[in-house]
Amino acid sequence: KAPHFSRLGDEEVNAGQNATFQCVATGRASEAEKFLLERHNGDILTAASVKHLSHRRFVVSFQLDSVQRSDQDLYRCVTQSSRGSGVSNFAELVVKVPPSPIAPPQLLRAGSTYLIIQLNTNSILGDGPIIRKEIEYRASQSPWSEVHGVNMVTYKLWHLDPDTEYHISVLLTRPGEGGTGPPGPPLVSRTKCAEPMRPLRGLISTDIQSRQLSLQWENLAFNLTRCHTYSVSLCYRYTMAGGGGGHNTTVRECLAVEHNASRFTLRDLPPYHSVHVRLSLANPEGKKESREVTFQTEEDIPGGIAPESLTFTPLDDMIFLKWEEPVEPNGLITQYEVSPWGHFC
C-alpha cells in the first residue's frame, strides 16, 4: 500500500560541495504523499523534487547544500501517506576535507631569475588521497598570481624578476569536485640581483659654461638596473698643461650621483678644455660603463702674465719687449696690449 524504496547507496563529497541523495521507489505516488530525508539524529529534510520514471516507478531527490564535516551522518528516505509509510535503509554521507600542507615549501636555491623549492608536503591537514600538486606564486607587490602543476618533490620557478620578493604556496587536490584545498603556508623568498642590463645611454650636455658643465642622460628603470640596490657614478678627466715646459697633468675624478637622478653639473672645471665624461652603473652583481663622451668648456678671461717672464732690451729709440704666454690662457690669445709709462729727466 506504500511505495517501496530500492537500496540507497552511500554518498561521498568534498566539504563545501552539494550532496544529493536519490531515492528510487516502486509503487503508486500521489500528490498528497510526503517524501522525507531523515538523518540518524532525527533531523528531517523535505524532498527537493519527485520525478516519475513510469506509472509505478519514480525518483525522489534530496539536496544538501554546502555540506561540512559536521553534516557527515547516516540518512534514509521516508514516505508518509494515508495508506502507510515506507523507509529505506540508512546510507552514509561521507564528507571529505580537501587537503592542505601544514608547512610552507622550502627554498633550496635562489638565482636572479629563478627559485628552486622543495614542496614539503609530507604532513597535511584534511583527507587524501592526493591526486594533484600545484605551485601558486606571486610577487609580493603584484595582484596577479600563477599556478603550475608539479609532478616532482622539487620545482624550479623560471622567468622571475631579479631582486624581487615572492610568496610561494602549495595546492593539493583529492578526488571529486571541489577537491582542491586552500593554499598552504607561504614561503616568502627573494631572488638575487642580476648584473645591470647595459650601460647608461643618452649622455648629453644641457649647458656649457667656462667652468661648469651640466649633463643629462636617460632615466633609470628597474629593467636596466635589475636590482633595487645600485649606484651611478659620473667619471671625468681632463689634461692640464704643465707650466714652464713641465709635464702635462691629467686630472681624474668619479662623483656619486644621487639615487634615481638623471642629471648632474660638474663645477670648477678649467676653461677651454676638453672634458672626457663617462657613466658607470653598478650593483652588487656587476658594473656597466658607458663610452666616453667629450665636451669642451667655454673660454674665459685669460690669466695674468708672470712678471718674471717679462724681459726688455733697450735700444736707441725703442725698447724690445718679450714675454711668455699666461700660465692660464683660458682660451685662444688673440691680442696683447702694451701701455708705455715712464719718467723724463
pLDDT band at 328 (very low <50, low <70, confident <90, very high): confident
Distance CA(226)–CA(223), nearest Å, equals 5
Within the chain, how many helices (H) and strands (E) appear? 1, 29
Q: Is the pLDDT score of 83 beyond 80?
A: no
Q: Which of 305, 282, 165 is nearest to 225 (CA)?
A: 282
pLDDT band at 345 (very low <50, low <70, confident <90, very high): very low
Structure confidence at residue 148 (pLDDT):
95
Alpha helices in 33-73 (DSSP H): none
Mapped onto helix, strand or coil, the DSSP state of residue 51 is: strand
* Cell numbers describing residue 265: 653639473
CA distances from 119 to 102, 122, 151, 158 (A): 11, 9, 10, 16
pLDDT band at 34 (very low <50, low <70, confident <90, very high): confident
pLDDT digits (tens, 9 = 90+) for 137-176: 999 988 899 999 999 999 999 999 999 999 999 999 999 9
Contact 292, 275 (CB under 8 A): no
- pTM metric for this prediction: 0.76
β-pairing, 165-173 vs 319-322, is: unpaired
Write down the mean pLDDT value for the chain.
Answer: 90
pLDDT band at 246 (very low <50, low <70, confident <90, very high): low
Q: Which residue has the higher pLDDT, 45 or 28?
A: 45
Distance CA(328)–CA(341), nearest Å, equals 26
Q: What is the DSSP string of 45-72?
A: EE-SEEEEEETTEEEEEEEE-S--GGG-
Distance CA(216)–CA(158), nearest Å, equals 36
pLDDT band at 259 (very low <50, low <70, confident <90, very high): confident
Burial of 292 from C-beta contacts in 10 A (0-12 / 13-18 / 19+): middle
Q: What is the DSSP string of 290-337?
A: PPPEEEEPPP-PPPPPPGGG-EEEE-SS-EEEE-PPPS---S------
Contact 311, 323 (CB under 8 A): yes
Per 3-state DSSP, what percentage of the chain is helix, strand, and coil (rounded to 5)?
Answer: 5, 45, 50
**Which amino acid would we find at residue 72?**
Q
